[in-house]
Amino acid sequence: MTFELETAEHPDRLRRVAIDPVSRVEGHGKVTILLDEHNKVHQVRLHIVEFRGFEKFIQGRPYWEVPVMVQRLCGICPVSHHLAASKAMDIIVGAKKLTPIAEKLRRLMHYGQMLQSHALHFFHLCSPDLLFGFDSDVTQRNIVGVAAQHPDIAKRGVLLRKFGQEVIRLTSGKRVHGTGAVPGGMNKSLTIAERDELLKDIYQIVAWSRDAVHLIQKVHSQDPGLYNSFGTFRSNFMSIVGHNGDLDFYHGALRARDDNGKIIFDGVDYQHYDRYIQEEVKPWTYMKFPFLASLGKEHGWYKVGPLARVQNCNQISTPFAEHERKAFIDYAGGMPMHAPLAYHWTRMIEMLHAAEEIKNLLHDDDLLGSDLMVKGERQREGVGVIEAPRGTLFHHYCVDENDLVTMANLIVSTTNNNQAMNEAVRHVAKRYLHGREVTEGLLNHIEVAIRAFDPCLSCATHALGKMPLEVELVDVEGQQIHAMSRS
Amino acid sequence: MSTNFMLDGQSIPFEDGQTIIQAATQAGVYIPHLCYHPEFKPHGSCKLCTVKVNGRQTASCTMRASAGMVVENNTEELNAERRALTQMLFVEGNHFCPSCEKSGNCQLQATAYHLGMMSPHYDHFFPNRPVDASHPDVLLDFNRCILCSLCVRASRDVDKKNVFALSGRGIKTHLIVNAASGHLADTNFTIDDKAAKVCPVGVILHKRNGFAVPIGERTYDKAPIGAQVEAVTEGV
């Protein structure tokens, strides 16, 4: 299956421009663009060039080690992997339902993660583009430039992230790569002092999160021509939704909508995700291409993450975030918004929801409780799914009778957005680069489109033994002598 | 009969038959060690407890104290050698502290911190050592074995079962299970054995129990290694 601008007919006759590495994203990726002598674009690809191998090397390890080991996939969203793996291992130990205390503590940890990751992305990675312009002076288009010209915004970004990190530290023992969740529950609750430490700042955090929504709303609304159309393409959406269709980052059932917002499937138990989602491999990237099985490779690809979640849910349970969701839906005119730059707006709505949920939980004395663990009948296979900051995250494991992992399959949030990101950069390349002299500012347009999805390229490249490979032997004239491929 | 020797300029009393490390521990002075355990006969193999007695190096777990000895312990030179030995142990096995359930309770990790080890320094061997998960209650992860032989001694001398042994020689020395199959499940080993509780690193693990103790409450979160020994004399 090949999409428009994915593969040029005669690549050997074209000039290659590479953005390597893509900056201000997590992990290593590159974009290659093939242009002819008139600077017309013939091929655009987002390549993921790093290689991890987690699915392979956790085989043969004891299952209780997995939630701690797999979180090393990432330094920004380790909590997502920690919790998705823990949820899968809950199934393995027969813990169909956690104690309310354990679930609330896990949720608190996860909301802390959402808060810090979304703040990091918006303020540290993207605000330079949004505040200064996509082709503004490259020397100031960074967080240091933001700190110099908008010190209040930069400071809030730092403090919002810090608060999220503190929530993670107090629930998991460390700001990055802690151990709080264990199969069947949690290993710690909060002390009164820890709870009060967070309570002290939470109202300020909620207020700043509201301001952040209003900031991006203003930026977006001031230039609708750009923000609604930049890299825009239509696609399906997918996420989990909670009870009554609520926005829920921690638990729920799978729901997919088509590009008009019509439900494709709903209420799907994610234990059976593999009946609904399949993956394709391509020879030019380490990242796989998932698609909805019922629609096939050509039409089944989809978007995940904030833009999908905020439009996929029926409502948000916290008042400020629900108010902002409605404002967003109204702005979109009641139809699904597909603009990649609208990810930023919805991401800030989610950050606000996370802050409000943290505030609610901090007023719940269950967080101080001690009933943390449950067990049940041992199972051989478990799937854990969570809505990570970047989208739906699947962890699927089989465990043998000796407690060792025999199979692991991870579909990481960013992987779900693979085709979507490629579409976005192709649209931007076609609109902004086609027929023009390539400049740094124009190339940054490509990166702006990628950044909107907040990709985590480290997370997304975990497969081993399945990777497609293409080897070409060329002579000094550049003529291909021999080629081999595995896909 | 009690008399004294000098340890880093401090007078240490000892009783007849005591080794240097026993007398030092009793007096609240920590000498880094891995294969030494107060409940077992010394093995003298890890060499971490090496001290200088009257200018000559010797293992303090096997050397008996005698009156008038002048012993050097906490010196730059000895600690540098201990650090190098510890680094060699790290590269010889597969010690991935970030995902090891023994982290925070591991004597090797705590000793490395104590000695200021900042990196493995040497090239890793990356040996291929499959785990033995055959036993219903205990997992053996040979990747982390430092050949201290504490499990061998505990199983032989306390449990009277001889479940473990060190096999091979030199660089090929490795821990084995005394069963025709080589599997722990085919021995009379139980989770209540002394050998199931004595491993200073993450080889002998009680199954389904990993990460139950939160960060902050693990042994060496509360106090670094050696602090318990030194606490003996605090407030005196």
pLDDT higher than threshold 90 for residue B107 = yes
Minimal Cα distance from B184: which residue of A? A402
Please indicate whether, in this complex, the C-beta atoms of A64 and B209 are within 8 angstroms of each other. yes
Give the amino acid at A29. G
Contact residues on chain A for B215, CB-CB shorter than 8 A: 172-174, 178-179
DSSP category for residue B185: G
Please indicate whether, in this complex, the C-beta atoms of A64 and B134 are within 8 angstroms of each other. no
Least CB-CB distance to A64: which of B98, B211, B215?
A: B211
Which of B105, B215, B222 is the best substitution to test chain A (most A C-beta atoms within 10 A)? B215
Which of B134, B211, B220, B222 is the best substitution to test chain A (most A C-beta atoms within 10 A)? B211
Copy the structure tokens of residue B202. Answer: 């993450």
- Residues facing residue B167 across a β-bridge: B174
- Residues facing residue A394 across a β-bridge: A385, A411
Given a contact cutoff of 8 angstroms between Cβ atoms, the answer to whether A31 and A19 are in contact is yes
- Quote the CA–CA distance of B131 and B184 in Å, as a whole number: 11
pLDDT of residue A483: 58
Q: Is B209 on the interface with A (CB under 8 A)?
A: yes
| ipTM > 0.90 (yes/no) | yes
Minimal Cα distance from A61: which residue of B? B131
- Please tell me whether residue A315 adopts helix, strand or coil conformation: strand
Confidence of residue A19 (pLDDT cuts 50, 70, 90): confident
Confidence of residue B235 (pLDDT cuts 50, 70, 90): very low
Contact residues on chain B for A173, CB-CB shorter than 8 A: 214-216
Copy the structure tokens of residue A487. Answer: 């896909």
Please indicate whether, in this complex, the C-beta atoms of A64 and B98 are within 8 angstroms of each other. no
- Residues facing residue A408 across a β-bridge: A397
Contact residues on chain B for A60, CB-CB shorter than 8 A: 130-131
- Quote the CA–CA distance of B225 and A312 in Å, as a whole number: 53
Please indicate whether, in this complex, the C-beta atoms of A174 and B134 are within 8 angstroms of each other. no
Write out pLDDT tens, residues A136-150: 888 888 888 999 999
pLDDT higher than threshold 80 for residue B2 = no
Minimal Cα distance from A70: which residue of B? B99
pLDDT of residue A75: 82
Least CB-CB distance to B101: which of A65, A183, A402?
A: A65
User: CA of B214, closest CA in chain A: separation in Å?
Assistant: 6
B54 class by beta-carbon count within 10 Å (0-12 exposed, 13-18 middle, 19+ buried): exposed
- Tell me the mean pLDDT in the region A363-386: 97
Please indicate whether, in this complex, the C-beta atoms of A188 and B212 are within 8 angstroms of each other. no
Contact residues on chain A for B100, CB-CB shorter than 8 A: 65
pLDDT of residue A192: 98
Contact residues on chain A for B138, CB-CB shorter than 8 A: none
pLDDT of residue A317: 98
Burial letters for B71-84: b for 16+ Cβ neighbours within 10 Å, e otherwise?
bbbeeeebeebbbe
Map out the domains of chain A with their CATH numbers: 11-51+420-486 (no CATH), 54-416 (1.10.645.10)
A487 or B202: whose pLDDT is higher? B202
- Tell me the mean pLDDT in the region B53-65: 97
A73 phi-psi bin (left φ>0, alpha ψ -120 to 50, beta other): alpha
For the range A206-211, what are the long-range contacts, defined as Cβ-Cβ under 8 Å and sequence gap of 24 or more? A206/A320, A206/A352, A206/A355, A206/A356, A206/A359, A208/A156, A208/A159, A208/A160, A209/A115, A209/A160, A209/A348, A209/A351, A209/A352, A209/A354, A209/A355, A209/A356, A210/A320, A210/A324, A210/A352, A211/A156
| DSSP result, A39-91 | --EEEEEEEE-----HHHHTTTSBGGGHHHHHGGG-SSSHHHHHHHHHHHHHH
- Tell me the mean pLDDT in the region B57-66: 98
Contact residues on chain B for A403, CB-CB shorter than 8 A: 133, 139, 207-208
pLDDT of residue A185: 98
B88 class by beta-carbon count within 10 Å (0-12 exposed, 13-18 middle, 19+ buried): middle
Confidence of residue A71 (pLDDT cuts 50, 70, 90): very high
Please indicate whether, in this complex, the C-beta atoms of A68 and B98 are within 8 angstroms of each other. yes
The sign of the CA dihedral A427, A428, A432, A435 is negative
- Tell me the mean pLDDT in the region A33-50: 84
Give the amino acid at A47. H
Please indicate whether, in this complex, the C-beta atoms of A403 and B213 are within 8 angstroms of each other. no
Using the structure block, give the residue that is written with the tokens 């009793």.
B26
Contact residues on chain B for A172, CB-CB shorter than 8 A: 215
- Quote the CA–CA distance of A256 and A265 in Å, as a whole number: 5
Q: Is B126 on the interface with A (CB under 8 A)?
A: no
Q: Is B213 on the interface with A (CB under 8 A)?
A: yes
Lowest mean pLDDT, pick from A15-29, A246-260, A333-347 = A15-29
Minimal Cα distance from A173: which residue of B? B215
pLDDT higher than threshold 50 for residue B236 = no
- Tell me the mean pLDDT in the region B120-147: 96
Average pLDDT, chain B: 95
Minimal Cα distance from A181: which residue of B? B211
Please indicate whether, in this complex, the C-beta atoms of A404 and B131 are within 8 angstroms of each other. yes
Please indicate whether, in this complex, the C-beta atoms of B131 and A62 are within 8 angstroms of each other. yes
- Tell me the mean pLDDT in the region A385-410: 96
Given a contact cutoff of 8 angstroms between Cβ atoms, the answer to whether A48 and A287 are in contact is yes
User: CA of B208, closest CA in chain A: separation in Å?
Assistant: 6
A251-265, A274-288, A472-486: which is most confident: A251-265
- Quote the CA–CA distance of B39 and B158 in Å, as a whole number: 10
Contact residues on chain B for A177, CB-CB shorter than 8 A: 98
Which among B228, B217, B4 has a CA at the least distance from the CA of B103? Answer: B217
Q: Is B116 on the interface with A (CB under 8 A)?
A: no
- Tell me the mean pLDDT in the region A18-34: 78
Copy the structure tokens of residue A463. Answer: 């497969």
DSSP category for residue B186: G
pLDDT of residue A68: 97
- Please tell me whether residue B5 adopts helix, strand or coil conformation: strand
pLDDT of residue A487: 42
Least CB-CB distance to B214: which of A64, A173, A403?
A: A173
Q: Is B208 on the interface with A (CB under 8 A)?
A: yes
Side by side, the strands of the sheet bearing A29-35 are A15-19, A29-35, A41-48
- Quote the CA–CA distance of A44 and A51 in Å, as a whole number: 21
Contact residues on chain A for B212, CB-CB shorter than 8 A: 182, 187
Least CB-CB distance to A402: which of B100, B134, B212?
A: B134
A244 phi-psi bin (left φ>0, alpha ψ -120 to 50, beta other): left
- Quote the CA–CA distance of A179 and A187 in Å, as a whole number: 8
Which among B51, B115, B105 has a CA at the least distance from the CA of B85? Answer: B115
Average pLDDT, chain A: 90
A390 or A439: whose pLDDT is higher? A390
Please indicate whether, in this complex, the C-beta atoms of A187 and B131 are within 8 angstroms of each other. no
Write out pLDDT tens, residues A261-295: 999 999 999 999 999 999 998 888 878 899 999 99
Confidence of residue A474 (pLDDT cuts 50, 70, 90): low
Given a contact cutoff of 8 angstroms between Cβ atoms, the answer to whether A384 and A91 are in contact is yes
pLDDT higher than threshold 90 for residue B232 = no
- Tell me the mean pLDDT in the region B140-168: 97
Given a contact cutoff of 8 angstroms between Cβ atoms, the answer to whether A310 and A318 are in contact is no
- Quote the CA–CA distance of B146 and B87 in Å, as a whole number: 11
Please indicate whether, in this complex, the C-beta atoms of B131 and A173 are within 8 angstroms of each other. no
Given a contact cutoff of 8 angstroms between Cβ atoms, the answer to whether A384 and A85 are in contact is yes
User: CA of A402, closest CA in chain B: separation in Å?
Assistant: 6
Q: Is B236 on the interface with A (CB under 8 A)?
A: no
pLDDT of residue A479: 61
A449 or A50: whose pLDDT is higher? A449
User: CA of A164, closest CA in chain B: separation in Å?
Assistant: 18
| A interface residues, B as partner, C-beta within 8 Å | 60-62, 64-65, 67-69, 72, 93, 172-174, 177-180, 182-183, 187-188, 402-404
| pTM score, whole prediction | 0.92
Copy the structure tokens of residue A269. Answer: 């138990």
- Quote the CA–CA distance of B57 and A448 in Å, as a whole number: 64
Least CB-CB distance to A62: which of B130, B133, B217?
A: B133
Q: Is B98 on the interface with A (CB under 8 A)?
A: yes
Write out pLDDT tens, residues A414-465: 889 999 999 998 999 889 988 888 888 888 888 899 889 988 765 655 444 3
- Tell me the mean pLDDT in the region B152-168: 98
Lowest mean pLDDT, pick from A86-90, A265-269, A444-448, B220-224 = A444-448
pLDDT of residue A300: 97
Which of A65, A81, A169, A191 is the best substitution to test chain B (most B C-beta atoms within 10 A)? A65
pLDDT higher than threshold 70 for residue A481 = no
Write out pLDDT tens, residues A207-219: 999 999 999 999 9
Q: Is B128 on the interface with A (CB under 8 A)?
A: no
pLDDT of residue A150: 94
Write out pLDDT tens, residues B196-217: 999 999 999 999 999 999 999 9
